[in-house]
Chains A and B, each alone.
Chain A
Amino acid sequence: MLLTRTTVRMWPVFWLLSGLLPAPVAISAEEDSPVTATFTGSAEAGTGTAAFRLGYYHNGDSGDGNPFLNEKLTVVEPILIVDYNITNRLGIWGLFSYDYVSSASIERLDKFRYQGGASGDMNYRGDLGLRYELDHDLRIGGYVNGSTDYDYNSIGFGGDVAKDLANKNATLKLAANFYYDWLKVIRFDGDIDSDNDGKADNSEDRISASTTLSWYQVIDQKTHGDLGFMLGYQDGFLETPYNAVVVQDSALPKNPNLANLARGLEYTEELPSTRVRGALFGKLRRLLRPGTSIQLGSRLYLDSWGIFSGSVEPTVFQEIVPERLTLRLGYRFYSQTAADDYGRVFTALKNRRTQDSQLSNFASHGINAKLSWQVYDRLAMDVGGAYTFQDDGLDYVMGSFGFSWDFDVRGVGP
Chain B
Amino acid sequence: MLNHVGICKSEERSKFAVLRGLLCVAILALVAVLTGCQTVEFYEKEHLSDATMLLEEDPSEIHFLQKVLYSREGSVGGVGTGAGGGCGCY
Contacts and interface: CB of A to CB of B under 8 A. Distances in A.
Interface of A: 32-35, 37-40, 51-53, 55, 57, 59, 73, 75, 77, 79, 81, 95, 97, 99, 101, 103, 117-120, 123, 125, 145, 147, 149, 152, 154, 156, 158, 166-169, 175, 177, 179-181, 183, 206-210, 212, 216-222, 224-228, 230-234, 240, 275, 277-285, 287, 290-293, 297-303, 305, 307-310, 317-319, 323, 326, 334, 336-339, 342-346, 350, 358-361, 382, 384, 394, 396, 398, 400, 402, 404
Most interface-central of B23, B37, B39, B62 (chain A CB within 10 A)? B37
Nearest to A290: B50
B79 to A, nearest CB: 8
A207 B55 contact: no
B80 A318 contact: no
A287 B50 CA distance: 8
A318 B63 CA distance: 24
Contacts of A287: 47-48, 50, 52-53
29 contacts: A34-B82, A35-B59, A51-B60, A55-B68, A117-B88, A125-B86, A156-B85, A167-B41, A181-B86, A216-B55, A218-B37, A218-B40, A219-B38, A221-B38, A224-B55, A232-B82, A232-B84, A287-B50, A287-B52, A301-B76, A309-B74, A317-B53, A326-B51, A337-B12, A342-B5, A344-B6, A350-B4, A400-B61, A400-B64
A38 B34 contact: no
A317 B78 contact: no
Main secondary structure of the interface of B (DSSP, over half): loop
B54 interface: yes
Contacts of B58: 38, 51, 53, 382, 402, 404
A117 B66 CA distance: 21
Nearest to A49: B59
B36 to A, nearest CB: 8
Contacts of A302: 19
A308 B23 CA distance: 11
B10 interface: no
Interface of B: 4-7, 12, 15-16, 19, 22-23, 26-27, 30, 33-34, 36-42, 44-45, 47-48, 50-64, 66-68, 71-90
B19 A285 contact: no
A345 B26 CA distance: 36
B4 A317 contact: no
B4 A346 contact: yes
Nearest to B54: A40
Interface of A is mostly: strand
B37 A301 contact: no
A52 B57 CA distance: 14
Contact of A183 (B60, B75, B78, B88): B88
A300 B19 CA distance: 8
Contacts of A400: 61, 64
A358 B61 contact: no
Contacts of B47: 221-222, 287, 290
A154 B87 contact: yes
B48 to A, nearest CB: 6
Given A291-B50, A299-B77, A338-B5, 8 more contacts: A38-B56, A119-B88, A147-B86, A167-B42, A179-B85, A221-B45, A224-B55, A307-B75
